[in-house]
Structure 1
Amino acid sequence: MAFVLSLFAGRLVQLQGLDSKVLQARAAKYRVQPEVLPARRGSITDIGGHELAVTVDAREIYLDPKDVDPAKRSQVAAMLTEQLNKPRQEIDATLAKTNLRYVPISRDVDPLRAKHIMSFGFKGVGAKQTYRRLYPGGTLGGNLLGFVGVDGNGLEGLESAYNKVLAGRDGKQSIEIGREGQRIPMTRSTRETPVPGRDVRLTINRDVQWAAEQAIARQVQATRARSGSVIVLDVRTGQIVAMANAPQIDLNEWQDAPVEDRANRAVSEIFEPGSTNKVITAAAAMEAGAVTPTTVLRVPDHIQCADRTIKDAEPHKVESLTFTGVIAESSNVGTIMAAQSLPSQRLYDMFRAFGFGSGSGSGLPGEQDGLLPAWQDWSGSQRCTIAYGQGISVTALQMASVYQTIANGGVRVTPTIVAGTTDEHGRLVPSPAPGKTRVISELTARRIAQMLEAAVGNDGTGTAASISGYRVAGKTGTAMRYDEKCGGYCGYTATFVGFTPADAPRLVVLAVIQDPKKGHFGGMVAAPVFKDVMTFALKSRKIPPTGTKAPRVDLRTRG
């Protein structure tokens, strides 16, 4: 007996003395249950505070297959199949994994639905609080806003770019539980409260955004185009009032959208701008004193540039066009003739000053720099084609920024998309003021604006962009479209960009249609989109006509 008791005593000494800490840690591992407390993600709103992306309460339904009563597995599977609209085979397969204790089977479940599921009282079926992301507008701002993944983190668009601001910080807690999963009363627990994410307020106007999306979608469908983009800019502030793309994705069903349709084409897709680019050549020539709006040029319908013969869109006899007429009638040859009076470096420097070859500074995710070859690398023909917008590539936002600069008296304002974010107390903190840079003189900007107004007049190429009662300045663009799939130029890019009122500009609207199959000229394909969007935006922003009349200008002279 003494020998047996000594064995027990030795074992007690080992358990309570030598191995006690190891055993306590092992017990705590099974008894103490850590749990993540998800933080509520901040909202994304438009400039008026209307929610574009919002987080709401949800529940995660999970299974503990080991704890499910084997006699009731069929009932559990039938109930979850009906309530969660899940395949029966999937539920059965999960229930068969009896070696697992925690298997999520459905996230983003409505709290009332989860309460009903729990009311059945099946062991092994649990619900955990979580959140789900909703987009009240469905497709509204889809490619701009982006979306979040199952873990609640932003994957695309502004949801990704501002994830650190929106996400907040998850909390955590640990509690002691018994064998049946119940909390043990009077035991220790620790809790770290989650910190909710902050809200992001955009410069977007919800109503104008909707109108822009409707207009570009209609025209892409009507012209059987590959895609399209529309941008609306506030001339004075540089704020992006709308940025729409077609095709557009439904944010609540983003998994169903093709990968190529998820990008924000307005900043991620580059294209050759064509004739909308001629205003930069005009600005360089006028700033250098080489021409004025009334300078007369004898313009044939073709011109030899090194080894290439470059033509105007339509054949014509030699015409005496004023430089205003060259821009209004979008003459490639006349634009080249004006550019030939400039050194290549001076023309290149003007492109750079307008923002070509570098990001716009907007902070929009996925933005491309475009392509502006160094002037030393220009070939003889490229020296000509660049003057009228072929041989360089830009984004839609870069081109819209060019016309914002002209409309703003020659001062470029960095485009912005975020008006501000909230602080930890929910107060809105405005974003820093955007940078401003003088690119051309106020006189040159005003002269170009008058030339662009003539382009929308009766003798110009942009008559389809005219708006009754308003003075409109704008420019058409039609360029051959480079396509990697065909290994060369296939199809066209049609563009129209302009501002209103021409004599007191408030808004810039740019419309781009890629690879249209029914028509391809910017004045036919893109100008109607400009008109629809600008008309709506003027009414929405309550911008009245100035009541003035456009000055009379001569596009051509006799002789």
Structure 2
Amino acid sequence: MTATRGRTQADAKTRQPREARDPRVQAGARTRTPRTAPRAAAPTPRAAAVTAGSGSGGSGGPGGSAPRAWRVGPSSRRTRIMIGVVLVALVLFAVRLVQVQVVQGPGLAEAASSSRMREYPIHAQRGDIVDADGAVLATSVMTYDIQVDQHQIPAFVYYAEDGKTVLGRGASAAAELMAPLLGVDAHELGAQLTGSNGGLIIARNVTPEVRNQLLDLGVNGLTSNLEEMRVYPAGVTAGSLVGWVKSDGEGAAGIEYRFDDLLGGTDGLRTGEIGVGGVMIPGAGQTVTPADNGDTVHLTIDSDLQQRSQEIIDAKVAETVSEWGAVVVIEVGTGRILSWAESGMVDPNDPSGYGRLNSLQSPYEPGSTGKILTVAAAMEEGLVTPTSEFEVPYTYTPPNSSQTFKDHTEHETERLTVTGILADSSNTGTIQIGQLMSDQTRVDYMDSFGWGAPTGVELAGETAGIALDPTKWDGRSRFTTMFGQHVQVNLLQNTNVIATLANGGVRTPLHLVDGTSDDDGRFTPSASGEEVRVVSPETASDMIRMLESVTSEDGATGNRAAIDGYRVAGKTGTAQVADGQGGVTATAASFVGVVPADAPRIAVGVILFKPQHGFFGGTIAAPVFHDVASFALQTLGIPPTGEKATLFPSYPGEEPPTVG
């Protein structure tokens, strides 16, 4: 016992310096004293190990050491750190919550809503082009192909009006709703809606109304493809005037091009919010901006007259082997173009080329029809009267000029009145009249009659002709311009000269369009241009009576233009033009006239360019006037001339002729 106790004491002595050095152990011993008994009863594994390794004195005995206890409680520093981290996290979370809900909330909500919004265009239908009587010359047939993505159909849910009660799902529900609109069997349609095709066409040529009703059903995966076809029922009749559209539906030529903005209209838009599976949510912010369909363009053209005019000019061009030909009919006093036919009109249903209108874009020398302007100017200036007399030789050399001119047919020198000079279409006589005026005076009248400026007709590409500048005329051209050479005009400009005289001396702007009407039928007339007083009513009336001699007197150049039962006033023209081989052997044969001369209703102009047979205006152009004007008189219901008239004599002392 003594030995054992001694070892224990020795062991204690060996540990004492450490415990003495570690005040924490001493302090811990003091704090652990009250808890010795419970720990002895249920020692920790580490405490048990220490006890087992002690001396024979045992635990708590006089000869043994106290069991060592370990502190496991958290330190206050660690607790503070953990609390701080948690607080920082809570603050950051709160800041982020405020940022999301308060600062970014509206934007995020709008973005979420936008991501669910879908836009569906509502295509505007292109407007029609109609003639003066409302007959359709151009229209659009708008249909849709209905396409379905079969993958999306199973997600379709058909709700009752309360938006909650489910009435059907998938292909069967969609088919029940769609079949009545498409006019098909619901079971057959349901089979079509089932499968894995992402772009199956289930219906073609669906009307816009049915297409809109189908889309309103909200069947997810249902789309439509627009199929718009432009149709021209009249074919080649007025084809080059009407024009056509390109593959994208935009105007390419003629009225289609010139009025593309009005005809095209403005597309509308259907906007709606979609839910799961692409189904449009009923009433969820849906908006519809209706399409504004294109306007209808009303032409001045009479389709019957237009068709007949085209037949006549095509036949004459073929007969004379002309490069091209054209004829225009203008309503006197209004400037409305009732017919405008040109050889080789394009069929807009199958267009080729550029739809060029030579009568508008290829000016030509008017020839003797230009003599009308020279004589009218001289009469308005008070320099001549219808019965003024001139010595008219076959050849003539003006004073102070080295240039010599001649008439179209050799003849003896004869004495003619101004009326006779027009009836015989004398170049030498016209020069004598023209040289009574200054060059600038003649140019001023050319401007007033509308030469050298666009007519304003509603088609693109008009060529106004050669600008009239007398300072650029040489010693010969100042005289040739008196009888329609060395000056160029288009057919509309040339015809409007005689239409101006028939209208009492007032030039009226020409137009091809009466106006437009919108989708509700509201008509907007075309803006009328400014009228121009060119000559007095007295000069105009005398000129018309003088020009009657051209068609009525025996041997006059325009006899082939005469129409039984009607008084006709007109003028032939045969101009020398370049032949393309360095010479001027080709001709431009023309005629302009009005009927009835006693109460003019229509003015008709004809041009046959570079004919290989016939050559003269009185020979080949005057008959075209006769045929077209005769048909126009019947079509328009214009009664025959009611009164006879005494004309001016062509020769001094002659008994004035009577017509009518």
Q: How does 1:470-549 map to 2 (within 5 A)?
A: 470-482=566-578, 486=581, 489=584, 491-549=586-644
Could you tell me whether the CA contact under 8 Å between 1:416 and 1:434 is conserved in 2?
Answer: no
Q: Does 1:461 align with 2:531?
A: no
- Structure 2: how far apart are the matches of 1:492 and 1:319? 27
From 354, 362, 366, the counterpart of 2:457: 362
Letter in 1 for 2:452: G
Could you tell me whether the CA contact under 8 Å between 1:36 and 1:172 is conserved in 2?
Answer: yes
Instruction: Identify if the C-alpha distance between structure 1 residues 59 and 549 changes in structure 2 by more than 3 Å, giving closer, same or farther.
Output: same
**Counterpart in the other structure of 1:451:** 546
Find the residue that maps to 1:444 and give its secondary structure. Answer: helix
Structure 1 unpaired stretches of 5+: 1-5, 68-100, 116-123
Instruction: Identify if the C-alpha distance between structure 1 residues 508 and 251 changes in structure 2 by more than 3 Å, giving closer, same or farther.
Output: same
TM-score (norm 1): 0.80
Percent of counterpart pairs with the same letter? 39
From 283, 286, 291, the counterpart of 2:376: 283
**Counterpart in the other structure of 1:120:** none
Distance apart, 1:352 and its partner CA: 0.9
- Structure 1: how far apart are the matches of 2:300 and 2:147? 40
Distance apart, 1:431 and its partner CA: 2.8
Distance apart, 1:350 and its partner CA: 1.0
- Structure 1: how far apart are the matches of 2:323 and 2:560? 22
Q: Does 1:40 align with 2:125?
A: yes
Q: How does 1:339-350 map to 2 (within 5 A)?
A: 339-350=434-445
How many residues align? The count is 507
Find the residue that maps to 2:458 and give its secondary structure. Answer: coil
Q: How does 1:115-126 map to 2 (within 5 A)?
A: none
- Structure 2: how far apart are the matches of 1:522 and 1:513? 8
How big is each residue's C-alpha offset from its partner over 1:457-515, in whole Å with a ceiling of 9 and x where there is no partner? 222101111101111111111112246x6566462211111001111111101111111
**Counterpart in the other structure of 2:302:** 205
Find the residue that maps to 1:320 and give its secondary structure. Answer: strand
Could you tell me whether the CA contact under 8 Å between 2:145 and 2:205 is conserved in 1?
Answer: no
Distance apart, 1:337 and its partner CA: 1.1
Distance apart, 1:446 and its partner CA: 1.5
Instruction: Identify if the C-alpha distance between structure 1 residues 379 and 198 changes in structure 2 by more than 3 Å, giving closer, same or farther.
Output: same
Distance apart, 1:438 and its partner CA: 1.4
Q: Does 1:59 align with 2:144?
A: yes
How big is each residue's C-alpha offset from its partner over 1:418-447, in whole Å with a ceiling of 9 and x where there is no partner? 212224631223334443221111121112
Distance apart, 1:354 and its partner CA: 0.5
How big is each residue's C-alpha offset from its partner over 1:314-337, in whole Å with a ceiling of 9 and x where there is no partner? 122212222111111111111111
Q: 514-523 vs 429-438, which deviates more? A: 429-438
Distance apart, 1:177 and its partner CA: 7.1
- Structure 1: how far apart are the matches of 2:469 and 2:602? 32
- Find the structure with the greater CA-based Rg: 2
From 308, 312, 326, the counterpart of 1:215: 312
Find the residue that maps to 1:512 and give its secondary structure. Answer: strand
Distance apart, 1:38 and its partner CA: 1.5
Q: 192-201 vs 276-285, which deviates more? A: 192-201
**Counterpart in the other structure of 1:325:** 420
Q: 179-188 vs 511-520, which deviates more? A: 179-188
- Structure 2: how far apart are the matches of 1:47 and 1:320? 49
From 466, 472, 480, the counterpart of 1:371: 466
Distance apart, 1:26 and its partner CA: 10
Could you tell me whether the CA contact under 8 Å between 1:407 and 1:499 is conserved in 2?
Answer: yes
Instruction: Identify if the C-alpha distance between structure 1 residues 312 and 27 changes in structure 2 by more than 3 Å, giving closer, same or farther.
Output: farther
**Counterpart in the other structure of 2:239:** 142
**Counterpart in the other structure of 1:77:** none
- Structure 2: how far apart are the matches of 1:451 and 1:58? 60
Instruction: Identify if the C-alpha distance between structure 1 residues 221 and 22 changes in structure 2 by more than 3 Å, giving closer, same or farther.
Output: farther
How big is each residue's C-alpha offset from its partner over 1:27-57, in whole Å with a ceiling of 9 and x where there is no partner? 9999765443220111121222222212222
Letter in 2 for 1:475: K
Q: How does 1:156-195 map to 2 (within 5 A)?
A: 156-174=253-271, 189-195=286-292
- Structure 2: how far apart are the matches of 1:63 and 1:307? 86
Instruction: Identify if the C-alpha distance between structure 1 residues 138 and 351 changes in structure 2 by more than 3 Å, giving closer, same or farther.
Output: same
Instruction: Identify if the C-alpha distance between structure 1 residues 172 and 552 changes in structure 2 by more than 3 Å, giving closer, same or farther.
Output: closer
Instruction: Identify if the C-alpha distance between structure 1 residues 63 and 303 changes in structure 2 by more than 3 Å, giving closer, same or farther.
Output: farther
From 429, 438, 446, the counterpart of 2:533: 438
Q: Does 1:131 align with 2:216?
A: no
Distance apart, 1:282 and its partner CA: 0.3
From 304, 311, 324, the counterpart of 2:397: 304
From 351, 358, 366, the counterpart of 1:273: 366
- Structure 1: how far apart are the matches of 2:578 and 2:630? 32
Could you tell me whether the CA contact under 8 Å between 1:243 and 1:266 is conserved in 2?
Answer: no
TM-score (norm 2): 0.69
Find the residue that maps to 1:376 and give its secondary structure. Answer: helix
Find the residue that maps to 2:263 and give its secondary structure. Answer: helix
How big is each residue's C-alpha offset from its partner over 1:224-255, in whole Å with a ceiling of 9 and x where there is no partner? 1111111111112221111111110001111x
